[in-house]
Amino acid sequence: MNTLVVGFVIVFMALCVIGCTELKKDLPPTGGTLAVHRSGWTDSTSSNFHGTAIRNANWDMMSCQTCHGSKYDGGIVNVSCRTCHNQSAGPEHCTTCHGSSNNAAPPRDIDGNISTTFRGVGAHQKHLIGGSISDGVACSECHSVPPSVYTPGHVDSPLPAEVPMEGYVATTVSNESTTVDWDSSLAVFTPLPSYSPVSATCSNTYCHGNFKNGNTSFAPVWNDATGTQAACGTCHGDTSRATLAERARPKTAAEGGTHPSSTACSACHGDVVNASLSFVNKSKHINGKLNVFGQERDF
Ligand code: HEC
Ligand code: HEC
Ligand code: HEC
Ligand code: HEC
Ligand code: HEC
Ligand code: HEC
């Protein structure tokens, strides 16, 4: 009799345990109490860090949406990514994996580098923010810019980043003429800008001199941070000459070009520079347009 009762109790308890286990398996994990992730998941110094896991999965974080929600704002586990990734697009925001609060361009680069001597960082901010000689250029001058993280061509290809340089300024065409006459063109400079990830140099860009009377063979090094590559005379003119105006002056007849030999630059380019060759309107310099005699035009 007693044996029978004990037997029933054992069977009942066993059923209960199996049942409860099955029930638990079906339940979504409860936030905070159940460790669904490995230890170190939120510690950026750990090899188990969630950012590293996403990186190792070819940047795929869409699997996280199953539990954390399609907008990463909690989902069935009610644990939001946005408590930490608080920008508008959450963890898919453009500065999650590269860039800073200034913009999405490095620094920092994909590997976390900050110094401009790293090719992933290079002269990005010099180009974007501009300085004394220009207002800078947009990302789209050098890259095709993805509207979202999973746009084809973005995270699906291995480093180095693609730098096709297909923007308006980078590909500006200028015509060569024997006289100062807009229409009598003899040769056409069609920049075919290219970036070499081997030497980290840019060649044939309009911006750096591949235009009429410019220094067509100048190939600046992307991660040379010495600042010498944007001196007067690098893109047009000759850095070895004595005065600033002589250094900046494009090729004249004496050098096989067609530019006037006068060094009174502001007399004809007064919209851009003043008599001491400071820029009065740097937005008109390196903008793909020629500013001369008070006009802005193609050349
Ligand atoms: C507790 C705070 C916190 C939460 C919650 C959080 N993250 Fe992060 N995440 C971080 C930190 C910190 C970094 C590293 C930032 C850095 O390196 O500067 C990071 C980095 C990342 C990176 C960049 C990886 C890389 O190598 O560049 C991705 C992608 C990412 N998180 C996705 C997510 C997703 C998706 C979620 C939600 C499912 C999430 N994070 C939730 C704090 C958090
Ligand atoms: C099976 C469901 C599930 C999936 C899939 C999932 N998580 Fe979680 N995650 C949870 C739960 C539950 C918690 C809370 C309990 C815990 O911390 O373990 C959590 C917690 C976190 C936390 C800590 C949040 C905090 O504020 O401390 C981060 C960060 C995180 N997840 C990131 C991710 C990332 C990144 C992915 C995708 C690679 C991902 N999770 C996929 C269920 C999931
Ligand atoms: C999940 C991480 C991640 C996020 C978020 C992210 N990127 Fe990227 N991005 C990368 C990686 C990795 C590369 C390098 C890809 C390669 O090698 O071509 C890259 C490269 C780029 C490049 C260089 C051109 C290229 O495709 O190689 C641009 C421009 C860029 N990202 C813009 C953006 C913009 C804009 C956003 C927001 C819409 C964004 N990124 C969000 C990881 C990310
Ligand atoms: C003047 C041209 C230029 C402009 C403008 C530019 N980039 Fe780049 N970008 C490059 C070059 C060159 C590389 C380096 C390729 C290599 O690794 O050799 C690069 C690499 C990158 C990388 C990959 C970094 C890594 O870790 O390797 C990202 C991400 C990126 N750019 C994003 C951007 C974004 C976002 C913008 C605009 C906010 C931008 N870039 C503007 C030329 C440019
Ligand atoms: C990074 C390359 C680069 C450097 C460095 C550079 N220029 Fe230019 N410059 C150009 C380009 C490209 C043009 C062609 C017209 C345009 O797009 O603005 C130009 C045109 C000019 C013009 C004609 C007016 C116009 O249309 O812009 C003047 C004047 C001029 N530059 C002065 C200078 C002076 C002075 C310096 C040194 C302080 C200098 N440049 C350094 C690239 C450069
Ligand atoms: C007498 C007027 C005059 C003076 C002075 C002058 N320029 Fe020009 N510049 C022009 C004209 C005209 C063009 C357009 C030539 C063409 O396309 O036919 C031009 C074009 C340019 C270009 C584009 C390349 C080219 O040759 O087409 C640059 C760069 C430039 N000038 C810089 C300078 C600088 C720097 C100085 C001072 C050293 C200067 N210019 C002085 C009239 C002048």
199 lines ligand 2 (CB under 6 A): no
Cα(286)–Cα(222) distance, integer angstroms? 18
pLDDT 10s digits, 120-136:
999 999 999 988 999 99
Q: What is the pLDDT of residue 179?
A: 39
Separation of CA 92 and ligand 1 centre (Å): 10
Cβ partners under 8 Å of residue 294, min gap 6: 270, 271
Ligand positioned closest to the Cα atom of 274: 5
Q: What is the pLDDT of residue 191?
A: 74
79 lines ligand 1 (CB under 6 A): no
Q: What is the pLDDT of residue 6?
A: 41
Q: What is the pLDDT of residue 176?
A: 57
Mean pLDDT for all residues in the chain: 86
Q: Whose CA is nearest to atom 40 of ligand 6?
A: 265
Using the predicted structure, report yes or no on whether residue 17 has a pLDDT greater than 80: no
Using the predicted structure, report yes or no on whether residue 253 has a pLDDT greater than 70: yes
Q: Whose CA is nearest to atom 29 of ligand 2?
A: 42
pLDDT 10s digits, 21-31:
333 334 444 44
Residues in contact with ligand 5 by the CB-under-6-Å rule are 133, 206-208, 211, 230, 232, 234-236, 248, 265, 269, 272-273, 277, 284-291
With contact defined as beta carbons under 8 Å apart, do 247 and 238 qualify?
yes
pLDDT confidence bin for 34, thresholds 50/70/90: low
pLDDT 10s digits, 192-243:
899 999 999 999 999 999 999 999 999 999 999 788 999 999 999 999 999 9
Phi, psi for 175 (deg, rounded to 5): -100, 140
